[in-house]
Structure formats: structure tokens, C-alpha cells
Amino acid sequence: MAKNEKRVTQIKTNTRPPVVAILGHVDHGKTTLLDYIRKTHVAEKEEGGITQHIGAYQIEYKGRKITFIDTPGHEAFSAMRARGGQVSDLAVLIVAADDGVMPQTKESIAHIKAANIPFIVAINKMDMPGANVERVKKELSKEEVFVEGYGGDVVIVPISAKTGQGVDELLEMIDLVADLAELKKEEGKPFEGVVIESRLDKSRGPIASILVKKGVLKYGDTVFTKTASGKVKSLTDSLGSRLIAVEISTPIEVLGFTKVPKVGEIVKSFPEEYKEEGKETKQVLSKTNLPQLSEDEIRLIIKADVMGSLEAITNSLESLKDEDQKIKIFYAETGDISESDVLLAAAIKAIIIGFNVGINSSAERLASEEKVLIRNYKLIYELLEELKEGLHALSEKKVEEEVFGKAEIIALFKIDSTRIAGCRVVEGRINRDDTIVLKRGEKELGRAKIVSMKHRESDINEANVGDEFGLVLEKDLPFAKGDIIFATISSS
């Protein structure tokens, strides 16, 4: 088939090709593996076809298609997830047999776990003299990656991307994992895709590489992202062939955007959801919004100057945990705060904690764009104090969500040494068995169980909207006229 002849991909079954991301440490063989697969298993070796880089490509193996994301590591992988464009169905973690688990291996593991997708470990460089599979397995177990034979079920495949040893077995395992995932097409859905690469070409203008996630993308369609739009003037695959339509799990280079869209943005064929295009709300980053990141936990990415500092911080954070609230350290490593850290934080709604480390300007800009909170400290006690405040605010938020009534303190009394709050119920009800939370404005002053409730001289068990009553608490809180009490369910 001639290079520029138009064609349409055919829909044969209700299943779809899996989309696979390959991650790992630099120099462990990601590019070599992708190059070997591309050269030996391209779906159609068309005469005169010119292979071009569009950020992804499809191969055909034993009559089945597999799509590989050929992007530069974690940054693009997380950028897609951070902006809502989860693209990969599974991942392949590359670890060199002669080098073992390295810093970027650990980072790759964090990104894969955050994506919550199945993955396969490919132990590469089995042709090297220092190859040691058992060592790699032990090091992976320390990172809570438990492979077969080491207490887990993560599939491990020894390979040599240079010679091709084990690559066919790896592809077979990818097909097996895809079968278990039961990847289905969503028939009749409107087009939706994800930007996997984008750039400005001096002669052709904005170009975006898009992976089709739903429906069919056709020549002439009008497409929209949150930041860009355009009419499809050209659809070109990784072999340089022009297409008139592409379907699900197919990567394609699109010409026709009026401006360059961002990597990871969702692409649609209708603009309704993007009417607020270009408008962004600024988020004030302060201590008060620490707990807004999760319902029941604060997720952290920690970067420290040296390993000793890192260990001291992680050990100290254990003391802040309790049964109802938790701090989860999702990734911890030495070194400056990078764009990859920011993208991971955006994807999992985490806070980045820096300790005596730097942050480059591009990472700072990205953090502002993705609304990621970064805190940098020079003293461990300051770090711990701020996180304590975050957990306290998280507790306050939970209390507000469980409020069954509130009352205003309208008078103060004292009988002997007992202080009594005269209250009026303004919402819901106050029950004798409730736990009371005392607030002045937005500040919580304390909480206590109720000792007694009285209406005039009579003991009562409950007061409803409009009722006035006297309240005695089990401990002396600093209540004053105008304060508000909130009734929450008793923990007993």
C-alpha cells in the first residue's frame, strides 16, 4: 500500500488492543526494547513506509495488536494521569539484571502503583556477564513489588532487548494480562482521546499525537481540549500513512489544532464540557487546605537532601498517625524537587514535602499550573508541626460532615464552681448522648461529652430547633457568649 494512500482501520471484534507503557531507570533499556519490538513486530511493513515518532505505535503479534506508549518516561505518563487522561492499561517495568533497582526504578514503581494498573517486570540485559536475577527479585521485594516465587504474583520475564531473548515471551505475557483485564470497546460512543505528545512545527503548525480512547476519530472532525481546538486536516500513523478514520487504542498524529494542546489533555468531538475554556481558578496554597486533598489521609511525596534526613523524617511521621487519620508517604527519595515529582503529586492528590532541597523554575511553574502544594523546610520540627495542623484541620472537616445539630450560646451562668452555658438550638437537635464541639468562628476551642441538659428546672435528653436549655459539660471548655456548639455522634 502506498505511503499516502488513505485507509480505514477495521472493527473486527468487541475487544480492543491493550495500551502498554514501559517505565524504568535511565540506561536500563527502555528505548532499546521499544526499538527491537518496533523493528521486528510492526503491524504492517509497508513498502516505502517511513517510520516516524508520534509518541506511540502499534505492533501485531500472532494476529493481535498491542499499542506501546513511546514517551520519555514518568513525566509524560503522569502528565496524562494528572490531567485526567489515564491511557495505559498495563505497564512494563524494566530493571537491568546487572544494575538492579535504582532511583528511577523506585520512582517508576510509585507511578505505576499510583496508576493502579497491572504490570509486568522485565529483567533486561540478561546477556551481560553481571546479570543476577535473584538479586533483582530481592531488591524489588524491598520496594513492595513481590514477584512470583517471592511471595507475590507479579509476573517477571528475563529478557535481552539487545539480542531479542525473551521478548516474544514478554509479548505473550502482555496478551495474557490483557485477556485477564477483558478490555472491551465501548460501541456507539462519541470520540474521546488523550494527547500523548504535542509540538509546534514551523511549517505545519500545531501538531498533536492522540491516542483514541472511545469512538472513532475521522478526517474533517472538529475537536476540542480545555486549551485548544481545531478541525482535523490530517491523520497520520507511525508509518507515515494517511488515514481517513481511526478507532479505539490507535495512536495517530493530528494536524489542524489552532494552538498546541497540553500533554495529557482529553480530546473530544464536542465542546459542551469546555465552555469555560482558558479560564482557571487560582488556588490559595496555605496550611488550611492541607486536608482538602483527601477524605481520610494526607498523601506525601518527600524529597530530602540526604538519606539520613529522609529516614529521620519518615520515622518521625509515624508518630503522627492514629486509627482514624493517616499520613501516607507515597514516594520518598533524595534530590531536588522535579517536574516528575509534581506530576506524580497532581495525579494522586499529594503534597510535596522538601527538606533542604531545591526546586527548579520549570517544576515551580508546573506546580502552579497543576495546583500542587509544595512545602520546603529546613527544620524537621517545623515540618511535623505543620502536618499536625493539617491533621487537626482534617479532623475538623470530619466533624462538620457528621454534625446533627448546632446551638448558639446566648448566656453564661455559674453555680458554685460549675459553669453553665445557656443555649438556643439553631439547627437540627442536641442530644444528651452527643459529643459537643465548641467553636468560635472557624476556630475549634475543644470538645467534650455532655454531663447534663436542663430546661428550666427539668432534666431533658434532647432539645430541638428554637428550644433553649442549660448545658453542663464534663470538662471546662472556654465558652463565651456568641460561641457555637456542634452536636456529633458519640464515639462510645
Long-range contact set of residues 234-237: C-beta below 8 Å, sequence gap at least 24: 236/52, 236/54, 237/54, 237/57, 237/58
Domain-embedded: residue 276? no
CATH number of the structural domain spanning residue 207: 2.40.30.10
Domain-embedded: residue 332? yes
Domain-embedded: residue 165? yes
How far is residue 3's CA from residue 5's CA, in Å, rounded to a whole number? 6
Of 145, 140, 33, 23, nearest to 74 by C-alpha is 23
pTM check: above 0.85: no
Looking at the structure, tell me whether residues 38 and 176 fall in a common domain. yes
How far is residue 195's CA from residue 197's CA, in Å, rounded to a whole number? 6
Q: In the numeric block, which cell numbers belong to residue 389?
A: 495542623
The CB density around residue 387, as the number of other CB atoms within 10 Å, is 21
Pick left, alpha or beta for residue 318 (phi over 0 → left; psi -120 to 50 → alpha; otherwise beta).
Answer: alpha
How far is residue 106's CA from residue 233's CA, in Å, rounded to a whole number? 42
Which residues, in sequence order, are bridge partners of residue 147? Answer: 154
In single-letter form, the type of residue at position 288 comes to: T
Domain of residue 59: give its range: 7-181
Q: For residues 239-266, b (16+ Cβ closer than 10 Å) or e, as one string?
A: bbbebebbbbbbbbbbbbbeebbbbbbb
Looking at the structure, tell me whether residues 58 and 151 fall in a common domain. yes
Domain final residue pick, 271, 304, 332: 271
Tens-of-pLDDT digits for all 492 residues of the chain?
A: 444 444 444 444 578 899 998 888 888 888 889 889 988 876 444 444 445 677 788 888 988 999 998 765 555 666 665 565 568 889 899 999 999 998 888 888 888 888 788 999 999 999 998 899 999 999 999 988 998 888 888 999 999 999 999 999 999 999 999 988 888 877 778 899 998 888 888 888 899 999 999 899 999 999 998 888 889 999 998 888 899 999 998 999 999 998 888 888 889 987 655 444 433 322 322 333 333 334 557 788 999 888 777 877 887 777 666 544 577 888 888 889 988 888 888 878 888 988 889 988 888 888 888 888 888 888 877 777 777 776 666 555 554 456 789 999 999 888 877 889 999 999 999 988 888 888 888 777 888 888 889 988 888 999 999 999 999 888 778 888 899 999 886 443
Looking at the structure, tell me whether residues 393 and 425 fall in a common domain. no
Of 147, 137, 153, nearest to 101 by C-alpha is 137
Between β-strands 217-218 and 243-246, what pairing exists: parallel, antiparallel or unpaired? antiparallel
The Cβ-side half-sphere exposure at 418, using a 13 Å CA radius, reads 11
Q: In the numeric block, which cell numbers belong to residue 105?
A: 526504578
* 458 membership: H or E segment, kind and range: strand 458-459
Domain-embedded: residue 174? yes
Looking at the structure, tell me whether residues 129 and 60 fall in a common domain. yes
Domain final residue pick, 353, 381, 399: 399
Domain-embedded: residue 187? no
How far is residue 488's CA from residue 430's CA, in Å, rounded to a whole number? 9
Between β-strands 7-8 and 243-246, what pairing exists: parallel, antiparallel or unpaired? parallel
What is the 3 state secondary structure string of 151-197?
Answer: CECECEEECCCCCCCCHHHHHHHHHHHHHHHCCECCCCCCCEEEEEE
Query: How many structural domains is the chain composed of?
Result: 4
How far is residue 347's CA from residue 409's CA, in Å, rounded to a whole number? 44
Backbone CA torsion sign across 50, 54, 60, 64: negative
Looking at the structure, tell me whether residues 217 and 311 fall in a common domain. no
Looking at the structure, tell me whether residues 114 and 137 fall in a common domain. yes
pLDDT at position 277: 40
Looking at the structure, tell me whether residues 354 and 406 fall in a common domain. no
Looking at the structure, tell me whether residues 50 and 38 fall in a common domain. yes
CATH number of the structural domain spanning residue 389: 3.40.50.10050
Q: Residue 134 contacts by C-beta under 8 Å, 6 or more apart in sequence? A: none
Looking at the structure, tell me whether residues 170 and 197 fall in a common domain. no
Domain final residue pick, 162, 181, 200: 181
In single-letter form, the type of residue at position 445 comes to: L
* 472 membership: H or E segment, kind and range: strand 468-473
Looking at the structure, tell me whether residues 12 and 143 fall in a common domain. yes
Domain-embedded: residue 285? no
Of 341, 328, 340, 324, nearest to 375 by C-alpha is 341
Looking at the structure, tell me whether residues 376 and 329 fall in a common domain. yes
